[in-house]
Structure 1
Amino acid sequence: MKKPLMRIPYTDILPAPNIIPHTARSLPGAIAALQEFLHAPSPRDLPRSTVVLTGAGLSVASGLADYRGPNGTYRVNKTYRPIYYHEFLTSHEARKRYWARSFLGWTTLRNAQPNPGHYAVRDLGRLGLVSAVVTQNVDSFHPRAHPDIPTLELHGYLRSTVCTSCRTEMPRDGFQAELARLNPVWDAFLQEALATGALETEDPHERRARGFRVNPDGDVELPQAPYTTFRYPACPKCLSDPPLLADGSRAAVEVDNDGAWSPTSKAGILKPAVVMFGESIADGVKKAAEEAIDGAGKLLVLATSMATYSAWRLAKRAKDRGMPVAIVNIGGVRGEEAFFAGLDPDQTGAQGVRLEMSTETLLPALVRELRQQPILQNAEPSSAEAASFLENDAAVFKNMLQ
């Protein structure tokens, strides 16, 4: 019997947020609330630093699709669902469909750039106000925009593929070149689409009018496309040195005359180096994310509804530790009332902040204001503290990428 599909959480519109403090409905009010949040001493004996948790909404200004925003995929494409991990592992046809769509979307994703929101996070780090970032995004914008701030990519990254058998990683650009070689007709179609600018518009409705459905994470859907003709390469390491199976025998890794993976193979399947829907996050990554929360005194959540449990549990961990939480997101957030329970109704940001504004607009404006004012001494970690944190956490996060 076919394994039942998992339910995708929170695809409907979440309840509208309660703005906190009430004075933060305007841009100046929002900036003032976040200034107080970032400058205020952490409660009790918690560390002075702030950790940032981000989601897909932060990359919308870079031209990428998100899931649950006003123009998110779950809003404009009701039939969309991501590929499930068990589908990818078990179905050759599902992998053809996935890689065909990813092939069409990769160039646009690779050429996209971090936006002012990402660079504002960099600047908050340079001001001594942000010590680490945990992101759900797989676009690699955070490490590109602020390589000096430790960044943990909770759900992996699209810049590489990884073998499901030997776990060897391969740069996505090289994999893309192999897909183009194995699928010349698809490559010609892609080059024409790029030349005509058909994939350049950021408007999802205009893209659909041109015959494309552009979904998150570099997925371009072409209705009626012959996905069954698409071919993808085998893991080169497994091809040259087939891995051992559980019974001690060598796995068969076979390719056709052009080097495309053959369905007679039992290993050597390459997947994107991301956590697919239904796939578990590695224990080491979970631990590193928890350590990032435990190493800070405040949590700043940016552009995510925290619909996935992997993100929500980190915010819950922060709240349970007594860390003040600030959330900036357009639209509702999963269970957000729990993060602001018990706040003094007269507090103006130190205990918690909830804003509904674009990070592309708000964060650069916040940085400009902060640069005009001296940073409070009790809000900024000492140089020794900062150096120690960056050295330790950079090593931890770097290990997650190996």
Structure 2
Amino acid sequence: MINDQFIKHHKMRQRYWGRSIIGWREFSMSSPNEGHNALSKLEKLGKIGVMFEDSSEYYKTDCEDSELDWTFSAGYQKHTIITQNVDGLHRKAGNNGKHVTELHGKHDRIVCMTCGTYRCRLDFHNELDELNASWLKDQLSDISDSREKSEQLRPDGDAFIRREDYDDIVIPSCSECGNGKSSENGFYKPDVVFFGDTVPKHRVNRCYGAVDASDGLLCIGSSLAVHSAYRFVQRAAAKKIPIAILNVGETRAEVNGLDLLKIEAPAGPTLSRLVEAFE
């Protein structure tokens, strides 16, 4: 979804939420894989993560204290994982959510684009399903079996809809500042970075702080093609911080000739072996 299309056009929001009615619940039930579970164990073993001095640059400037994921109470913070994924699987695997930066946001919550209020996406979808029960029933009647439904699903919670008719989709508006039905004011957006949007500056700064304080950066299962992640590898290289890459296939860092250690192997089994060695 293009960010400007979602923000500016009610019909595009109807399309997005209509397709999400079909696809998001399946996406939200995804389970951590071997790699996620291994990283959770490595954090508990104290083998990954870095402590560094806290800073106001690592926080949104317009949020209430109750909304902060981090606190200044100790004067420092811990950081373990930077992930490009929005599926929350590191948290599901048992990593401390306060030690994980989900660079592109969290797919399991939504945010009002007028007042900034957060809402649990599951609760929102329960209401969305109820308001659009008839439309949903009609769509599901087009799906003949579970295999066909599986083929419709997209990896980000989107779904292919055979009948592209979203005019009757009713979208709940913000319970704090909206009017309870579809409107141009108080509408929700998934708390993720859409195409054409940018990663919030405070989130990037927090990751830079963690990289600067680290004695090594391990990149796992990523081609690093997207700048939002590659910039942290560039930062480590500029700071002469050792870089290791665990990935099947060439990465942007190798193409650009950065000094690094490359491990050409699948992430899950390799990280599990690492856990076994430390245990």
Deviation, 1:364, is: 1.3
Which of 336, 341, 355 is matched with 2:263 structurally? 355
Q: How far apart, in 1, do the equivalents of 2:90 and 2:233 lie?
A: 19
Which of 182, 191, 204 is matched with 1:273 structurally? 191
Deviation, 1:192, is: 6.7
Check if 1:141 corresponds to 2:89. yes
**8 A contact 2:87–2:108 mirrored in 1:** yes
Which of 117, 142, 157 is matched with 1:218 structurally? 157
Deviation, 1:268, is: 0.7
Alignment correspondent of 2:273: 365
Q: How far apart, in 2, do the equivalents of 1:319 and 1:190 lie?
A: 51
Deviation, 1:226, is: 1.5
Q: How far apart, in 1, do the equivalents of 2:247 and 2:138 lie?
A: 37
Structure 1's 155 and 199: CA in aligned 2 closer, same or farther, altered over 3 A? farther
Deviation, 1:326, is: 1.2
**8 A contact 2:139–2:163 mirrored in 1:** no
Unaligned 5+ segments in structure 1 are 1-82, 202-206, 240-253, 342-351, 372-402
**8 A contact 1:319–1:339 mirrored in 2:** no
Deviation, 1:85, is: 0.8
Aligned with 2:210: secondary structure? helix
Which of 313, 324, 334 is matched with 2:231 structurally? 313
- Listed one character per residue, the Cα deviations across residues 346-396 of structure 1 (whole Å, up to 9, x for unaligned) are xxxxxx32133322222212322333xxxxxxxxxxxxxxxxxxxxxxxxx
Check if 1:110 corresponds to 2:28. yes
TM-score normalised over the length of structure 2: 0.81
1:226 counterpart letter in structure 2: D
Deviation, 1:335, is: 4.1
1:112 counterpart letter in structure 2: S
Alignment correspondent of 1:175: 124
Check if 1:84 corresponds to 2:2. yes
Matches within 5 A, 1:16-165: 83-131=1-49, 132-148=80-96, 150-165=99-114
Deviation, 1:260, is: 2.8
TM-score normalised over the length of structure 1: 0.57
- Count residues in correspondence: 248
Matches within 5 A, 1:335-350: 335-338=253-256, 340-341=258-259
Alignment correspondent of 2:218: 300
Aligned with 1:215: secondary structure? coil
Q: Sequence identity of aligned pairs in percent?
A: 32
Aligned with 1:312: secondary structure? helix
Structure 1's 197 and 238: CA in aligned 2 closer, same or farther, altered over 3 A? same
**8 A contact 1:316–1:339 mirrored in 2:** no
Deviation, 1:97, is: 1.1
Deviation, 1:291, is: 1.0
Alignment correspondent of 2:72: none
Q: How far apart, in 1, do the equivalents of 2:218 and 2:143 lie?
A: 37
1:260 counterpart letter in structure 2: K
1:328 counterpart letter in structure 2: L
- Listed one character per residue, the Cα deviations across residues 63-117 of structure 1 (whole Å, up to 9, x for unaligned) are xxxxxxxxxxxxxxxxxxxx11111110111111111112211111221111111
**8 A contact 1:303–1:328 mirrored in 2:** yes
Matches within 5 A, 1:373-388: none
Alignment correspondent of 1:260: 181
**8 A contact 2:43–2:95 mirrored in 1:** no
**8 A contact 2:27–2:155 mirrored in 1:** no
**8 A contact 1:193–1:199 mirrored in 2:** no
Matches within 5 A, 1:178-257: 178-188=127-137, 196-198=145-147, 201=150, 207=151, 212=152, 214-239=153-178, 254=179
- Between the two structures, name the one with larger relative contact order (CA 8 Å, sep ≥ 6): 1
Q: How far apart, in 2, do the equivalents of 1:192 and 1:356 lie?
A: 46
2:193 counterpart letter in structure 1: V
Aligned with 2:167: secondary structure? helix
Q: How far apart, in 2, do the equivalents of 1:174 and 1:164 lie?
A: 18
Aligned with 1:357: secondary structure? coil
Deviation, 1:171, is: 0.4
**8 A contact 2:249–2:264 mirrored in 1:** yes
Q: Larger Cα Rg: Structure 1 or Structure 2?
A: 1
